[in-house]
Chains A and B, each alone.
Chain A
Amino acid sequence: MSNYKKTVGIEVHCELKTKTKMFSNTLNNYGAKENSQVNTIDLAYPGSLPLVNKGAINLALKAALILNCKINKLVCFDRKNYFYPDLPKGYQITQARHPIGVDGYVMINVGGIDKKVRIHDIHIEEDTAKSIHQTDKSYLDFNRSGVPLIEIVTEADMHTEEEAMAYLTKLRELFVYADISDCKMEEGSMRCDVNVSISKDDTLGVRTETKNIGSISSVGKAITAESIRQEEILENGGVIVEETRRFDEKDCKTILMRVKETGNDYRYFPEPNIPEFEITDDEINSVKSEIPKLPDELRSEYRTLGVNENNIKTLISNRELCSFFEKVKEFDPIITSNLITGDILSYLNKNNLSLKDIKLNEDNLKELVKKIKNSEISSKQVKTLLPILMEKGGNVEDIMKEHGMVQISDDSALQTIVDKVISTNPESVNDYKNGKDRALKYLMGQIMKESRGQANPVTVNKLLIETLNK
């Protein structure tokens, strides 16, 4: 279709999952009443000075390690100066000279092919206030002012919408699993700016920046829309201008925000209120040790355990389920994953609940899995029992007793039922003797029905075959 090649670089801002803000000691508390999480530092009161949150430094360090970055052990900050009402100090404290991490990479997989997306740098900065706009006035809420952010800047290594979306999905997955950020694009805790250029050859075209796109799928759409726009301009003999645009979700096109100011007008200079400091190797190692198993490792582990691809995908995409699975999988990963991604997940979805809202816990789920594996409970009984476990909790054995779900494993009791079923189904018995395997299944079903699902299927199967072959 098009003989232009797209080149994409992405800048992502993620709010760090800290208790308090980056340079002040108020709460990092999304959704609180306006201006209720502020102090003199957040409002840039005259005489206020920045503090540095160690928790935020550690999370940023963790992110840099996960993205395979070289760590700048010397930490220092710079001021990025610009005037805007949501920026109380008139400057943002950021890391311009020495980002905490540089020269990293992320592996993505698109259409079965692995690809490396290089990370130029990852640096720490602070968020701005939130503003609400009406016709002639805007209203400012400084709760978000000073919330810790990391900005992750890639090299221009992506060439398709799929690659860009895969990169963002991967980044989100990593940060969510490592507890670095919620990465909720709808709440603004993850925000993407996308740089797009197109070219017919290997030279890079003039790029535009499209800001604040609302979802990962919209990133794909924005890249498509922006590359089509650029192509139309070039095909009509025009030139692309370096500019900042935004994506209009409704019309699915990018809209000009401003032409880039020539040169650097941010007047960067070192922040004198924060003396530089070193991160020690011990601190790096301690942060490293806190990094949990990440999705790629989990995926390959689950494959080895025989969990099917669909279940793996469902588990990885839901971090809460996945960490629950990690805790209960040991006894039988396949049965466990089926339960979690099947009945349990659909119950949660149907009732809009999360795992912490229900009574199912590690112990009773493990007990259940054990019973299933030992055929001490039938699948029908599982269907009845699971909702009870989730709603009321308790141990599996007790619930089974309480609801009459006792398994009949006693040979003589089962023999009676087997004999009864054989005598009432002579045709099926004949079919079986004539080699029709389906008949055996039918007879099994009749026996289970007769026992109201309480027969131990393994014992029944053994007894049935023995009796038929007599």
Chain B
Amino acid sequence: MSKYLDLSIRELHELLVSGKIKPKDLVLEAFDKLENSDLNAFITVCKDEALKRAEELENADKSSMLYGIPIAIKDNINTKGIRTTCASHMLENFVPFEDAFVIDKVNEAGMIIVGKTNMDEFAMGSTSQTSYFGAPKNPWDKTRIAGGSSGGSASVVAGLLAPIALGSDTGGSIRQPASYCGIVGMKPTYGRISRRGLIAFGSSLDQIGPMTKNVYDNALVLNSLVGYDEFDLTSSNREAEDFTRLIGEDIKGMKIAVPNYFISDIVDSEIKENVLSVCELLKENGATVDFIDIKHLEHAVTLYQIIAMGEASSNLARFDGVRFGYSADSNSVDELYAKTRAEGFGSEVKRRIMVGSYLLSGDNAKEYYTKALQVRNSMKESFDEAFKKYDLIIGPTTTTVAYHLGEGMDDVRKTFLDDVLVIPVNMAGLPGLNIPIGFNHEHMPIGLHIIGNRFEEAKMYKLGSFIEKELNLDLKVKEENHE
């Protein structure tokens, strides 16, 4: 049973600052739970390091809101001295000697890393079933997927194994598992958080973000992760801001848009109903809700396939058995490459690299890749237009609730279609937030997707927090007693 880990960060902070509990108490509870968990949410746990850190923190400055709070890190983010596998045989034994930028931030804020979370191999997938280490499970129903690619992170937070997890999102990989697991997940504006130390999948799409139980916690964590990094040329140079600052403000007068495509027939009717009832709630509270069209939303999957697979085919070329990672026995360079990559990568990754390589070869680069970048620009411009008139755009995060493990594994396209509603945000570099808004008839969580204009995360948290308070859902998974 949870003693502390079901509490909010604010509640934990009060307990820690008052001295009623020590960081070590939280760490011990986290390990007690995760060691007995059958969610398969972690690839690597680091108990010794976490306990040592908890002790070190006892006499440290406690002013940070995140002081002493355990956090789980997606296993594609480099952690010094802790192996970072990307859920791949290729990096099964890879140990970085430098922390990612966000890990420095996590440490500066006084958080305690408890382990590295399971995910789709190299973040390629929507179910976390492509993991070399087996799929993590959905705490709401362990026969179901946690979503992906940040499935382990979502599972950790929903399963109350740690109050915070970091995920990464290339085409929905934070928001979609957050939706499936009934938690809050933010993919910030592209450039908000440095990507240095995040093992690249699609460089122009990737973004790290926080996954938490509630909106306020999420904003607090985001506060600690942002900041300019001169070693990531796409990192934003903006001044620091407090993302919690608008939380609690009245939503009266807010202008909300819902793209028609987001409530079209591709979306499960129960989910659609939930989203539309949220729209009613917003109107009742003085916001306006309009239904609009955004260009090319229906082409999101095609764009994603071309851009993400193209970039990935190039980003993953460095895994060649020469400088790090898995290396197959071989007598020639050609054999070294072909065997290392055949044996080191799983089938989803290989398929994407092959298709990506094909899309960039010869004249294809122009026909597919350049064209996709033009469509991408057009989509971005259409979003820009919408944000001239509206504060926020909302819709469902996913077209269905979390489905059963193993389902649809024979269709290589399904995994892309799962992310149809969340991909456009990555294409345009916008921030996107998932918040839980209800359950379907099987009591599986349903998520709302809130899209903001670039760098307007604070506004999204304001709306998200308002809805969260109004709905006042019971989002606690019934815990099993391990005693």
Provide the residues of chain B in CB contact with A40, threshold 8 Å.
Answer: 98
Provide the residues of chain B in CB contact with A275, threshold 8 Å.
Answer: 233-234
Convert A215-227 into 0s and 1s, putting 1 for each residue whose CB lies closer than 8 angstroms to a CB of B: 0000000000000
A342 within 8 A of B: no
Supposing A50-B233, A269-B369 touch, asked if A83 and B317 sit within 8 A by C-beta, the answer is: yes
Convert A34-65 into 0s and 1s, putting 1 for each residue whose CB lies closer than 8 angstroms to a CB of B: 00000010011111111110000000000000
The answer to whether A91 and B317 touch across the interface, beta carbons within 8 angstroms, is: yes
CB B461 to nearest CB in A, in angstroms, measures 27
B134 within 8 A of A: no
From A158-166, A259-267, A361-369, A424-432, give the one contacting chain B: A259-267
B439 within 8 A of A: no
Number of residue pairs A-B, CB distance < 8 angstroms:
98
A85 within 8 A of B: yes
Which chain B residue shows the least CB distance to A82?
Answer: B317
A268 within 8 A of B: yes
The answer to whether A270 and B373 touch across the interface, beta carbons within 8 angstroms, is: yes
Provide the residues of chain B in CB contact with A84, threshold 8 Å.
Answer: 333
Provide the residues of chain B in CB contact with A136, threshold 8 Å.
Answer: 331
B382 within 8 A of A: no
Cα A136 to Cα B335 with chains together (Å): 14
Which chain A residue shows the least CB distance to B369?
Answer: A269
B362 within 8 A of A: yes
Supposing A46-B91, A47-B100 touch, asked if A264 and B318 sit within 8 A by C-beta, the answer is: no
**A: interface residue count bin:** 20 to 34
The answer to whether B361 and A267 touch across the interface, beta carbons within 8 angstroms, is: yes
Convert B48-72 into 0s and 1s, putting 1 for each residue whose CB lies closer than 8 angstroms to a CB of A: 0000000000000000000000000
The answer to whether A269 and B310 touch across the interface, beta carbons within 8 angstroms, is: yes
Cα A85 to Cα B198 with chains together (Å): 23
Convert A179-220 into 0s and 1s, putting 1 for each residue whose CB lies closer than 8 angstroms to a CB of B: 000000000000000000000000000000000000000000
The answer to whether A85 and B360 touch across the interface, beta carbons within 8 angstroms, is: no
* A–B complex contacts, Cβ < 8 Å, 26 sampled: A43-B324, A45-B96, A45-B323, A46-B78, A46-B86, A46-B91, A46-B318, A46-B324, A47-B77, A47-B100, A49-B233, A51-B230, A51-B231, A51-B233, A81-B314, A81-B317, A81-B357, A85-B322, A88-B318, A88-B322, A91-B314, A136-B331, A263-B363, A265-B361, A274-B233, A275-B234
Q: Interface residues, chain A, CB within 8 Å of chain B?
A: 40, 43-52, 79, 81, 83-85, 88-91, 136, 138, 140, 263-265, 267-270, 272-275
Query: Other than the known A46-B319, A268-B360, what 17 A-B pairs have Cβ atoms closer than 8 Å?
Result: A44-B318, A46-B86, A46-B96, A47-B199, A49-B196, A49-B233, A81-B357, A81-B360, A84-B333, A91-B317, A138-B333, A265-B362, A267-B360, A269-B365, A272-B234, A273-B203, A273-B234
Q: Interface residues, chain B, CB within 8 Å of chain A?
A: 77-78, 84, 86, 91, 94, 96, 98, 100, 195-200, 203-204, 230-234, 310-311, 313-314, 316-320, 322-324, 331, 333, 337, 357, 360-363, 365, 369, 373
